């Protein structure tokens, strides 16, 4: 089977990744190239699996593993049998090995894979700054989001901080190789999803600077921060759950792994009102220990949960002022009600309704021009909180 252009370009440099060396000039057979691609794919899938059980990767590192896994999966699946391709993924193996965080001193092999993944992730974050073409003319997703070269230089500086010693040559070699891949993507279709890696690293840094975690890197994303509420509502974070959305608001459950552990809010959903003359809007926030709090721009008289089994659960109003359209209000879930919810099955659906001063009840909606009533299941919420609160590797283990 003839290999695709992407596979050929990746294979040229994948032996460098497999050995984490910047020097690879020998010609390879197709079989050797496939082995290199499979090893690269294995590193990415292993890191993603381990990260499900232990908080190992930050936003940029995680996004790198996702885009590299996806870039390779199509070509590897076409070049192998279904069974052989399935065996190349180490996600399930990593999840079995990482039942929590492993000590580096006694699990050097497992940590070696994670270290390789982080080096590759940092090199991919830095790659756009080394492109021959103008990265500002190349989109990173279907929404055509672009960043100027000045931003990519900032991302490269951030990524290089962990690689000033013995692995510097490997980092620079991988950066150059990835830059070539992005150049080729951009020349062919004016888009490369590999650019998402550096974007997520910058987005996290700018968000966290707003939360008091260090200073702003000074990228153009700083001015777009207010469109997303993560750091404002939750504090400094390491990773957000779900697909790449750039700086766009995300409907449904938004879950974040925070730098602060304890009982800080770690997930939220957006609540909007479709009332003819305006109504309250805001967020329902979930804490790491399962608490529920609603903060609204608008003074609702009351708020209730409406469960699919017919149960209605009122929230306690903590404060309120102004009108339904221009005021503010805050609600909290009583402990007794949390205990009631704990006994409900995962499939139980949840919707929220607010009451105006005339006693009329209206359901909250999600985001979008054609938004639907905001709905989620208790199982989805439990999974989100479990993901957000997995154990975190000790700082001395990761070096970050």
Q: Predicted confidence band at 225 (pLDDT cuts at 50, 70, 90)?
A: low
pLDDT value for 28 = 55
pLDDT value for 276 = 58
- Euclidean distance between the first and the last CA atom of the chain, given in angstroms as a whole number: 43
Q: Closest Cα partner for 203 from 231, 184, 178, 176? A: 231
Domains recognised in the chain with CATH numbers? 5-207 (no CATH), 254-388 (2.60.40)
Max CA distance (Å), the chain: 78
Mean pLDDT to the nearest integer, 361-390: 95
Q: Which residues contact 86 (CB under 8 A, 6 or more apart)?
A: none
User: How far is 281 from 354, CA to CA, in rounded Å?
Assistant: 10
- 44 close to 381: Cβ distance less than 8 angstroms: no
- 219 close to 206: Cβ distance less than 8 angstroms: yes
Handedness of CA 76, 82, 85, 91 (dihedral sign): positive
Between the CA of residue 126 and those of 131, 148, 177, 187, what are the distances in Å? 10, 14, 11, 19
- 113 close to 17: Cβ distance less than 8 angstroms: no
User: How far is 118 from 17, CA to CA, in rounded Å?
Assistant: 12
Ranges 27-31, 128-132, 250-254, most confident? 128-132
- 305 close to 360: Cβ distance less than 8 angstroms: no
pLDDT single digits (tens) 97-125: 999 999 999 999 999 999 999 999 999 99
Handedness of CA 206, 267, 302, 248 (dihedral sign): positive
pLDDT at residue 50 is higher than 80: yes
User: How far is 374 from 282, CA to CA, in rounded Å?
Assistant: 12
Residue 178, judged by CB atoms within 10 A of its CB (0-12, 13-18, 19+), counts as: buried
User: How far is 289 from 263, CA to CA, in rounded Å?
Assistant: 6
pLDDT at residue 396 is higher than 90: no
Question: Whole-prediction pTM value?
Answer: 0.90
Mean pLDDT to the nearest integer, 250-260: 93
């Amino acid at each position: 089977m003839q290999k695709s252009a992407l596979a050929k370009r990746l294979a040229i440099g994948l032996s460098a990744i497999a050995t984490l060396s910047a020097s690879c000039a020998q010609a390879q057979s197709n079989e050797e190239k496939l082995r290199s691609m499979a090893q690269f794919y294995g590193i990415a899938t292993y890191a993603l699996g381990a990260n499900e059980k232990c908080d190992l990767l930050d936003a940029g590192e995680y996004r790198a593993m996702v885009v590299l896994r996806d870039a390779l999966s199509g070509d590897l699946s076409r070049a192998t049998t279904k069974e052989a391709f399935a065996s190349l993924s180490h996600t399930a193996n990593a999840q079995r090995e990482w039942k929590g965080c492993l000590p580096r001193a006694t699990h050097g092999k497992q940590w070696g894979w994670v270290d390789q993944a982080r080096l590759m992730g940092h090199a991919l974050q830095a790659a756009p700054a080394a492109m021959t073409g103008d990265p500002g003319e190349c989109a990173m997703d279907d929404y055509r989001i672009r960043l100027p070269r000045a931003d990519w230089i900032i991302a490269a500086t951030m990524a290089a901080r962990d690689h000033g010693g013995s692995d510097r040559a490997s980092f620079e070699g991988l950066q150059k190789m990835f830059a070539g891949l992005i150049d080729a993507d951009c020349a062919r279709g004016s888009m490369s999803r590999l650019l998402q890696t550096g974007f997520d690293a910058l987005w996290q840094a700018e968000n966290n600077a707003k939360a008091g975690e260090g200073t702003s890197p000074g990228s153009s994303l700083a001015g777009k921060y207010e469109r997303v509420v993560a750091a404002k509502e939750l504090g400094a974070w390491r990773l957000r759950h779900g697909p790449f959305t750039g700086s766009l608001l995300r409907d449904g459950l938004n879950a974040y792994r925070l730098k602060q552990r304890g009982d800080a809010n770690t997930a939220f959903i957006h609540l909007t009102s479709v009332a003819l003359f305006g109504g309250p809007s805001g967020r329902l926030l979930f804490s790491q220990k399962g608490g529920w709090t609603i903060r609204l721009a608008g003074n609702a008289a009351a708020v209730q949960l409406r469960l699919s089994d017919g149960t209605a659960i009122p929230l306690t109003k903590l404060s309120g002022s102004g009108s339904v359209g221009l005021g503010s209000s805050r609600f909290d879930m009583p402990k007794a009600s949390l205990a009631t919810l704990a006994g409900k099955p995962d499939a139980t659906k949840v919707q929220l309704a607010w009451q105006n001063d005339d006693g009329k009840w209206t359901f909250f909606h999600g985001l979008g021009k054609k938004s639907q009533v905001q709905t989620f299941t208790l199982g989805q919420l439990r999974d989100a909180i479990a993901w957000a609160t997995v154990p975190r590797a000790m700082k001395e283990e990761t070096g970050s």
